[in-house]
Amino acid sequence: MLLFDTKADLAGLASFHRRLGEILELDELRLQTVLPELSGWSPLQQIFHVLLSNELAYRNVRLVLEGSSAWLRRGEGPNLLGFLLLQAGRMPRGIAKAPRIVTPPKRPNLGIVRDTLASNEAARAEIAAGLEAVLSAGRLDGGTGVPHQDLGNLGPAAWIAFAALHGRHHLAIAEELLVAGG
């Protein structure tokens, strides 16, 4: 059984959003520079990817709360990969391929990335404000959730935990690229 600290994950996501805001104030050329020996994506692509992904995670939490989406699966949980990843609280680097829907363009528009960050923070704050409803929604019938393409069916707390660990993963890569790029 997976145990989540959703309140801590939401606080971590707030800190993550603040750090991204600081990074997005850096010189755009630095943000757009790809260092292929470290990653196929620039720091800005790393950031935009995780913001697009987390936008979907926040949407999936709302879908469970609303309870009427065709995407909902009841009584299922994460698959083995999902269980192991969420239990570990970290992601291995360079293993997964981003789904097309969250693959950033070669040169993301900085204004759009900033707007997406603001949208992410608004969604996170809304979820945090209704935390008790979020937590109880996933327990109503043994685990209502929305499937992740690789991790299986994730309930609200699992989607928030995934957003937090995915954010940490890509933030670490973006920061490594920024340091290496000078």
Long-range contacts of 93-98 (CB under 8 A, 24+ apart): 93/169, 93/173, 96/150, 98/49, 98/53
| Band (139; pLDDT cuts 50, 70, 90) | low
Distance separating the N- and C-terminal Cα atoms of the chain: 43
pLDDT exceeds 80 at position 88: yes
Question: Residue with structure tokens 């992410």?
Answer: 120
pLDDT exceeds 60 at position 141: no
Asked if residue 43 is part of any domain, the answer here is yes
Asked if residue 22 is part of any domain, the answer here is yes
d(CA 178, CA 167): 16
Residue ranges making up the domain that contains 16? 6-181
- CATH code for the domain of 34: 1.20.120
Domain count, the chain: 1
**SS3 at position 146:** strand
> In the structure encoding, which two tokens stand for residue 38, read together?
């470290």
Asked if residue 46 is part of any domain, the answer here is yes
> In the structure encoding, which two tokens stand for residue 120, read together?
């992410």
Asked if residue 119 is part of any domain, the answer here is yes
Give φ, ψ of 76 to 5 degrees. Answer: -115, 160
Asked if residue 81 is part of any domain, the answer here is yes
Question: Residue with structure tokens 């829907």?
Answer: 101
Q: Quick one: the chain helix, strand, coil %, rounded to 5?
A: 60, 5, 35
Asked if residue 163 is part of any domain, the answer here is yes
pLDDT digits (tens, 9 = 90+) for 170-182: 999 999 999 999 8
pLDDT exceeds 80 at position 101: yes
Q: Say what the pLDDT of residue 131 is.
A: 84
Asked if residue 1 is part of any domain, the answer here is no
To the nearest 10 degrees (0 to 180), the angle between helices 156-181 and 6-23 is 30
Quote the pTM value. Answer: 0.93
| Band (137; pLDDT cuts 50, 70, 90) | low
